[in-house]
Amino acid sequence: MLENDIGIHTHGDVGSGHSLVDARENREVTVLDLVCDLSVFRSLISIGISPGRKIRILINRKKVVLVVVDNSIIALSKDIASGVIVGE
């Protein structure tokens, strides 16, 4: 885990990924990285969104992204989703 001078944590490799807010609906993607502060990181991990996990994007709208993780539907704000880096 790396931490820069403003408290942003990165976990993993983002070279081939893009933000969850840019992902298409009805696609399965793999979480590559979480770029966020520690409290958000812990929250995402606790609901099953972690590097290496596959998630399905149900809805990607103006203010919210709905994803399926382990048969649960989770709503993420665009702010939170922008820190979830995914790949196909």
What are the pLDDT digits (tens) for 64-74? 999 999 999 99
pTM score over 0.85: no
* Those residues with Cβ within 8 angstroms of residue 4's Cβ, 6 or more apart along the chain or in another chain: none
Quick one: pLDDT at residue 79? 95
Cα–chain center distance at 55:
9
Distance CA(78)–CA(57), nearest Å, equals 13
Are residues 35 and 51 in contact, defined by beta-carbon separation less than 8 angstroms? no
Higher model confidence: residue 41 or residue 7? Answer: 41
Burial of 69 (0-12, 13-18, 19+ CB in 10 A): middle
What are the pLDDT digits (tens) for 9-53? 455 555 678 999 999 999 999 999 999 999 999 999 999 999 999
Q: Give domain 2-87's CATH number out of 3.30.465.10, 3.30.160.270, 2.30.30.90, 3.30.1380.20.
A: 2.30.30.90
Domain spans in the chain, listed from the N-terminal domain onward: 2-87
Quick one: pLDDT at residue 6? 38
